[in-house]
Amino acid sequence: MRMLNYVVGLTGGIGSGKTTVSDLFAELGIVIADSDVVSRDIVRPGQPAYSAIKERFGQSIILEDESLNRVKLREIVFSDTGERRWLESLTHGPIVQELREIVSAADSPYSILVLSAGAGRSPLINRMLVVDVPEEVQISRVVERDNNSVEQVKAIMKSQPTRQERFTWADDIIENNGTPRELSEIIQSLHEIYLVKSKTSS
């Protein structure tokens, strides 16, 4: 197996703005390997994980177009630790494999590996970037974005690493409380740092 290219991990709690940040890196020509995107890909109809999930939870989590009702599935697994662990054990291996393939094939100087909000530091990465916002901001953003209840968002957050835990993993931290322009300027500065790092780490 050939060595991976330089990889910057990107993580943050639910609603912290990881997608916005990764989109800005993508605009700079950086390859993005997003675990949330991959996790949706591996549970499409016809995939082995889809069949296993359907068999375990039944037709009630299947939408009319045969895709998974991800909102319903989220409600189940974040209210039952055993079911959440079962789902994670089913999907973890395929997700890691596809992410590895994306970053290995990256043709940009470095790549961004967007980790799920519940994940810790991955062995695939060289450097960790954490996006952070206050918990009350997370809650309000997710309630508005996903039409979830406050209680459900709090349950999801409780299942994820704390802000303090994420800070211990971080090589870089973005406090995502400013304007879009300020965020863009931060990304540009980090991009220049990562370009240097990618050249000097061989």
pLDDT for res 202: 54
Buried b (16+ CB within 10 A) or exposed e, 102-117: bbbebebbbbbbbbbb
pTM of the model: 0.80
pLDDT tens profile 50-102: 999 999 999 989 999 999 998 889 889 888 889 999 999 999 889 989 999 99
- Which tokens belong to 104? 């290995």
pLDDT for res 2: 38
Query: Are 23 and 184 spatial neighbours (Cβ–Cβ below 8 Å)?
Result: no
Q: Would you say residue 1 has pLDDT above 50?
A: no
Q: Would you say residue 147 has pLDDT above 80?
A: no
Give the separation between CA 30 and CA 54, rounded to whole angstroms. 36
Query: Are 57 and 87 spatial neighbours (Cβ–Cβ below 8 Å)?
Result: no
User: 179 falls in which pLDDT band (50, 70, 90)?
Assistant: very high
In the CATH hierarchy, which fold is given to the domain comprising 7-200? Rossmann fold (3.40.50)
Structural domain spans, the chain: 7-200
Buried b (16+ CB within 10 A) or exposed e, 162-180: ebeebeebbebebebeeee
pLDDT for res 117: 66
Higher-confidence position of 47 and 153? 47
Higher-confidence position of 136 and 11? 11
Count other Cβ atoms within 10 Å, centred on residue 21: 22
pLDDT for res 130: 94
